[in-house]
């Protein structure tokens, strides 16, 4: 985690794979089965208040 000199702002970053159904023909790729997925995210340090989180997606398949 990067902390700026005032120690009131911390920036953490990372990435994780939510699913990779393209490779094995799973539910998200075939359109069959559950379409909801949740993952826990661990931060490298603690925050004084709940953090603001930005999420982005990659490898979109749109019909």
- Structural domain boundaries enclosing 18: 1-63
pLDDT at 53: 85
Taking the CB of residue 27, how many other CB atoms lie within 10 A of it? Answer: 14
pLDDT of 18-62, one tens digit each?
A: 777 667 777 766 777 777 778 888 888 888 888 888 888 777 666
63: pLDDT confidence band, cut at 50, 70 and 90? low
**Mean pLDDT across the stretch 9-22?**
78
User: Rounded to 5 degrees, what are φ and ψ at 2?
Assistant: -90, 135
Coil, strand or helix: which one is 19? coil
Domain count, the chain: 1
pLDDT at 42: 86
């Amino acid at each position: 985690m990067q902390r700026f000199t005032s120690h009131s702002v911390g920036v953490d970053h990372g990435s994780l794979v939510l699913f990779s159904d393209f490779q094995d023909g799973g539910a998200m790729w075939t359109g069959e089965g559950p379409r909801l997925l949740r993952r826990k995210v661990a931060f490298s340090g603690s925050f004084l208040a709940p953090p603001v989180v930005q999420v982005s997606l990659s490898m979109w398949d749109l019909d």
